[in-house]
Structure 1
């Protein structure tokens, strides 16, 4: 394992441990299932995702960046800008790419079938930030590789982005609640836990908002930001109604086969509980 991989792994373990400890001692919401029933399949998704990435792209994204640098591919190889500026712009570029990737996973029906495994979690905690279908991991890996090739992103920018992306995913899924005044201030810059729980709402008008994993700028810029849900954070209905919190719905096999299910119908907005609409058919 190279130095960059060790750095990423160390950062991941440290952030996971801190966030897990915070939500154990100061939980915002109570899970309908035991931690064992939810954590086991969610953490196994990390292993399957890592294996998928290793098979699909053995060189890793860092290797993609080094290849682009060696062959002079990408826009930054045609300009003479300071390295620090290229790093900053590359991280922003990659984050913007992931924002739009996330929106498309909600917008395009076959992509939603894959992504809804993440949204089918009946409770949002630090392990939800790791619960992605291996097929989504594969698609995301190719998307990020494309973004790196287009920009010619420096290798150090790719390492920084990968650590930040993993860290923010753990952070904003953590089951804690910040004081509202602090949450509102931080929400001007980043996606907080409360803001991301709105994204995990059972209602389309709310789940199709707050797509950012890190900064809230993209959602504000592209008109997908929502600062408040119709329900309070304490009562917000999260997950997918078609997948109630049962042991069966949280088995590894069930999670892997979930994209094969037919499209589900959900309420288009929380204030109209009796009206249903076809969702991403």
Structure 2
């Protein structure tokens, strides 16, 4: 049982690592983010697609879990589930940061929201977590909570664009 929990957590962390580096690569190589993935348009419009379409994009890390099936079927399933849970969490967090960043209570600063608001092309690449930005030195703290955020109408955690 401990092995399955470990594999689930490892997959969650691994998926966040892949998401961080893919986002960072879209900034290092703008053509990658313009032609291959519609990232350039995302920055230009400063909008998100909705939780479900975002989930489709963030589930790209899930196939990497197929190798875990070489260890055993339960380990493979655990790894796939960890990747899927991260993809769901990242899709939700991404949409939330675009629509209601003050609700990202698990982050001291909603890094993706700040990444867009301050046009930080070289900083704050995380979507759902900020730990990789801190590990790789791309975390840039700013005083983000301004009147703009405080004057937004109060919304619930599920009042988001889902489709």
What is the distance in 1 between the residues matched to 2:147 and 2:82?
A: 32
Q: Runs of at least 4 residues of structure 1 off by over 3 A?
A: 128-132, 149-153, 229-233
1:148 corresponds to which of 65, 69, 74 = 65
Q: Counterpart of 1:173?
A: 95
Structure 2 CA distance for partners of 1:112 and 1:227, relative to 1, 3 Å: same
Matched residue, 1:53: none
- SS of alignment partner, residue 50 of structure 2: helix
Distance across 2 between alignment mates of 1:96 and 1:82: 21
Who wins on radius of gyration, i.e. which is larger? 1
Equivalence for 2:161: none
What's 2:125 paired with?
A: 211
For structure 2, list consecutive stretches of 5 or more residues without a partner in the other structure: 70-74, 150-163
The whole-number CA distance in structure 2 between the counterparts of 1:211 and 1:162 is: 20
Query: What TM-score does the superposition give when structure 2 sets the normalisation length?
Result: 0.62
TM-superposed CA distance for 1:233, in Å, is 7.1
Q: RMSD in angstroms over aligned alpha carbons? A: 3.7
Q: How many residues align?
A: 138
What is the Cα deviation at residue 167 of structure 1?
3.1
Tell me, in whole angstroms, the C-alpha distance in 2 between the residues paired with 1:232 and 1:172: 20
Once residues 166 and 125 of structure 1 are traced to their aligned partners in structure 2, the CA distance between those partners, rounded to angstroms, is 14
Decide whether aligned partners of structure 1 residues 177 and 86 sit closer, same or farther in structure 2, where only a CA change above 3 A counts.
closer
Provide closer, same or farther for how the CA distance between residues 187 and 202 of structure 1 changes in structure 2, counting only shifts above 3 A. Answer: closer
Shift of 1:232: 4.3
Distance 2:13 2:52 in 1: 21
Q: How does 1:31-70 map to 2 (within 5 A)?
A: none
CA, structure 1 residues 130+211, in 2 after alignment: closer, same or farther (shift >3 Å)? farther
Shift of 1:89: 1.5
Contact kept? 2:66, 2:80, Cα under 8 Å: no
Distance in 2 (alpha carbons) for counterparts of 1:82 and 1:166: 23
Which residue of structure 2 lines up, in the alignment, with residue 225 of structure 1? Answer: 139
Q: Give the equivalent residue in structure 1 for 2:107.
A: 187
Uncovered stretches (5+) of structure 1, i.e. residues with no partner = 1-80, 236-281
2:28 corresponds, among 107, 117, 138, to 107
1:216 offset after TM fit, Å?
Answer: 1.2
Q: Deviations over 1:53-85 (max 9, x none)?
A: xxxxxxxxxxxxxxxxxxxxxxxxxxxx82221
